[in-house]
Amino acid sequence: MSDGARTWGLRLLALAISAAVWYSVSLSGRENQSEISVDQASVSYNVPRGVVVLDPVRTARVRLRGAGKKIRQLNPSLVKVQVDLAQAEAGEFNATLGPDDVQAPDDLEVVSVDPNVIRVRLDREVTQRIPVRAQVAGEPAAGAQAGEPEAYPNMVLVSGPESLVEKIEFLSTRPVNLDGHASTFEQTANVVPPESPLVQVVQPSEVTVRVPVEPPRTAGDGGEGPAKRRESS
């Protein structure tokens, strides 16, 4: 065999060995690939300043693929979905979710996100003063009469989505207990927060409640005293 033929033979043998090694490694990698479904991946929203998300979708199912060892060692809390709405305005629209919206370890591939389309409602955040009504409970001392309670200050500042804030006519205080009181008194009471967690009481969170109480009449007061004096005369 000539030197040229021998050289080409060695080259072909080397190429065949390289191809076999590559195929073996590639096949091994494919065989070790696994998938996992993170069913409660948290969903967050990147929104412009002064805009809030109404009724947001909080979790999504994310399916990942990667080496079996990496899949087994995965901490599900590291898988998150972020909806980029930085350029969005107040309104209602559909947002499409894909692999680019998923935060996961670099060595894992995002296969799918479910749901891949969510309905988003954005509203403008406003701050507004809302009236406060004082609430009382119980009964004053025997014979005493309680009047209409008043709150000081009688307005509080709240912040939240415009569509929710504009529906609030007033807020109430926690009930102030009248039991045993025989004269006018004042007591600090917390303001009951709005039902929606998206609306917050900014300030003040508590107010002073003044409850006017008319003391019980004694024998010498009012109409009862003169009658008794006439009887004694």
Q: Tokens standing for 152?
A: 């000081």
Could you report the per-residue pLDDT of 160-185, keeping only the tens digit for each?
Answer: 999 999 999 999 999 999 998 988 99
Domains and CATH numbers, the chain: 33-115 (2.170.120.30), 125-214 (2.170.120.40)
Task: Please calculate the CA angle 81-86-88 and round it to the nearest 5 degrees.
Answer: 110
State how far Cα 120 lies from the chain centre. Answer: 15
Query: Collapsing DSSP states into helix, strand and coil, what is residue 28?
Result: helix
Q: Does pTM surpass 0.75?
A: no
Q: Tokens standing for 24?
A: 């073996």
When pLDDT is averaged across residues 42-62 and rounded to a whole number, the result is 92
User: Is the alpha carbon torsion for 203, 122, 37, 66 positive or negative?
Assistant: negative
For tokens 């599900």, the residue is: 76
Q: Give me the chain's average pLDDT, please.
A: 84
Amino acid at 110: V
CA torsion angle 134 138 140 146 (round to 10): 30
Could you report the per-residue pLDDT of 86-121, keeping only the tens digit for each?
Answer: 888 888 999 999 999 999 988 888 999 999 999 999
